[in-house]
Structure 1
Amino acid sequence: MKSLRFKKIDAFTGAGSSGNPAGYIWMDQAGDLTEQEMQQIAAELKGFVSEVGYIYPDGDRFILRYYSSDCEVAFCGHATIAIMYDLLKSTERGKAAPEVTIQVKAGNLTVYNHLADEDSVYITAPSPKYLKCPVASHEIAEALGISLSEINSDLPIRLIDGGLRTLLVPIKGLDPILKIFPDQERLRQFSLSKDFDIVHVFTDETAQPDNRYRTRVFPPRFGYLEDPATGSGNSAFGYYLHAENIWPGDFSIEQGPSRNNPNIVKLKSKMADGETRILFGGRATTRIEGNYLLESL
């Protein structure tokens, strides 16, 4: 039996929001866990956390991998926020670092320490990939269980990979977006057939005046219907806004189905190596910490 350092941390908490739960397993080095064991832990934690992030040091950087209950995930924004917020706040190495480099499947990303001024960390999203959109408006309306008239035809539906292949769907207002509750299996089959990872719906009508957009994110191919707060999906949304020339400057997003207590995700953009990169940020709250006892199958 293996004893592992474990935390359950909710990302994007604050201002009455409960956040998005992530599991956090620290490994001293590569090989402490096999891929089968990482998948086993994520499956055992199904319904308790959305994804489990595994991290270990590698010289002056950290390596991260992510698993949902069903499969490995290329990039998980909220787990990254949870882990890096904890690492930067609770370790001497982290407290002293204005920036930290992490490696995920998409490559090296920079983490920015804004704990002192914003009580937040910011993660650089992977470089975007603008993909051919595989769906028509009526198809996604049917898959989401909404009427075609509720999709905002003034803006395009687009497929952008900002860490995950994200289908971005504009919705006409706050009431229509809050009442979306798709059939999980139907949406899962639709995402598999059209080869995208998550559906991101958005509107510029918000419940709280300090926020610029309301979003909701559905990732049923990863084993659950809705993500309460999302880094990768909202990063793709930031790239969408830049591509459509409607980026409003640094802003905050309210996410989720709750009208009055949404989760808050912050977005910034900056130029890096001649291209625009999205940074997503927030704070996190540790709920449980201790040892995870793994009995390998």
Structure 2
Amino acid sequence: MKEYNFKKIDAFATEKSDGNPAGYILLDKLDDISESEMLQIAKELKGFVNEVGYVAKVGEREFDLRYYSSEREVDFCGHATIAILYDLIKSDNSLANIPTLTINTNKGILSVENRFKESDSVFIMSPKPQTKDTIINVGELANKLGIDKLKINTDLPISVINAGLSTLIVPITDLESILTIKANLDQLKEYCFSMEIDIIEVFTSNVREKINDYRTRVFAPTFGYIEDPATGSGNSAFGYYLINNNLWSTETLTIEQNGLIDNFNIVKLQKQIDENNNQRVCFGGGAITRIEGKYIINYMR
């Protein structure tokens, strides 16, 4: 039998929404748990959380991070990163006044800004973006999403950008259309694997509340579930898409995310110049701890 410190935390939650649930295992070092055990825990938690993050402190302000869904290891999980770093800063007094932390992930070394005092949030620098030239059949894509192909806005490009996860970004004409999408898990999973993408993010500039900038929805069938209700990596890819297409003119973007007209989650995006003078997208938000305790793995003799 093994036991680990465990929390269930909802990232990007608001007073009106539930956020995105993440499991969180705190370790002395990542070697304290095997890859098979990481996957086992994520499988056991399927339907309860979307991903599980495993974190270990390796320096005064530095952490190692890995992520698993019920299906496989996830190279980078934005909402789990928000959940974990928010909780670490909130619960560890030694981190409270440190302005910037560092995390080591499969997608590189990333910075974390501590904005607890200003806005009760943390901001994560997304991985360096990679674009992929992909030819998309609009009719086929519309069919897989369960939407009329005329509701895909062909005035804007469909693009594949990886800012942690390979993300197919699809413009939709209006809010009503984006809310009516009802994709089939198995069909969309097959489509994503055939296109060599991890997730699909649809968006529109038609929003429920005028103070916000965009509405998005993210479908993640390759990780074992149909929809991700609030994302860091997907919206970071979307941020790079907006930059590439000259659609981002403000300092901060506020994104409504999920398929509920009123009870949407909120994800913030900001631009930042990194140490190599490259423009990067940072995603930010807060989190709510729902459960705290021990996670026990039993082994059959």
CA distance in 2, matches of 1:248, 1:53: 33
1:279 maps to which residue? 282
CA deviations on 1:223-271 (whole Å, 9 max, x unpaired) are 0000010000000000000001111321110000110110000000011
Whichever residue aligns with residue 180 of structure 1, its letter is I
Residue 49 (structure 2) pairs with residue 46 (structure 1): no
How many residue pairs get aligned? The number is 297
The corresponding residue for 1:267 is 269
Does the CA-based 8 Å contact 2:30-2:54 persist in structure 1? no
Per the alignment, residue 184 of structure 1 pairs with: 185
**SS of aligned partner of 1:18:** coil
- Shift, 1:68, TM fit: 0.3
Q: Percent same amino acid among aligned pairs?
A: 51
TM-superposed CA distance for 1:145, in Å, is: 1.3
Deviates more, 1:252-261 or 1:138-147: 138-147
- Tell me, what secondary structure is at the counterpart of 1:239? helix
2:172: which partner in 1? 171
Give the SS at the match of 1:146.
coil
Which residue number in structure 2 is paired with residue 292 of structure 1?
Answer: 295
Superposition deviation, residue 181 in structure 1: 0.8
Q: What is the identity, as a one-letter code, of the residue corresponding to 2:222?
A: R
Runs of 4+ displaced beyond 3 Å: none
What is the TM-score normalised by the length of structure 2? 0.97
- The letter for the 1-side match of 2:191 is F
Alignment of 1:1-297 (within 5 A): 1-60=1-60, 61-249=62-250, 250-272=252-274, 273-296=276-299
How far did residue 107 of structure 1 move?
0.7
Partners of 1:180 and 1:193 in 2: how far apart? Answer: 21
Q: Which amino acid aligns with 1:211?
A: N
Distance 1:280 1:188 in 2: 26
Please tell me whether the aligned partners of residues 21 and 50 of structure 1 are also in contact (alpha carbons under 8 angstroms).
Answer: yes
Q: Deviations over 1:77-105 (max 9, x none)?
A: 00000000000111012212111000110
1: CA distance, partners of 2:94 / 2:56: 14
The answer as to whether partners of 1:253 and 1:266 remain within 8 angstroms in 2 is: yes
Per-residue deviation at 1:139?
Answer: 2.0
- 1:119–1:283: 8 Å Cα contact kept in structure 2? yes
RMSD (CA atoms)? 0.9
Q: 1:136 Cα deviation (Å)?
A: 2.2
Q: Distance in 1 between matches of 2:299 and 2:173?
A: 49
| Distance in 2 (alpha carbons) for counterparts of 1:183 and 1:30 | 36
Opposite residue 30 of structure 2, the aligned amino acid is: A
CA distance in 2, matches of 1:178, 1:90: 37
Match of 2:228, SS state, is: coil
Q: How far apart are the structure 2 equivalents of 1:124 and 1:93?
A: 22
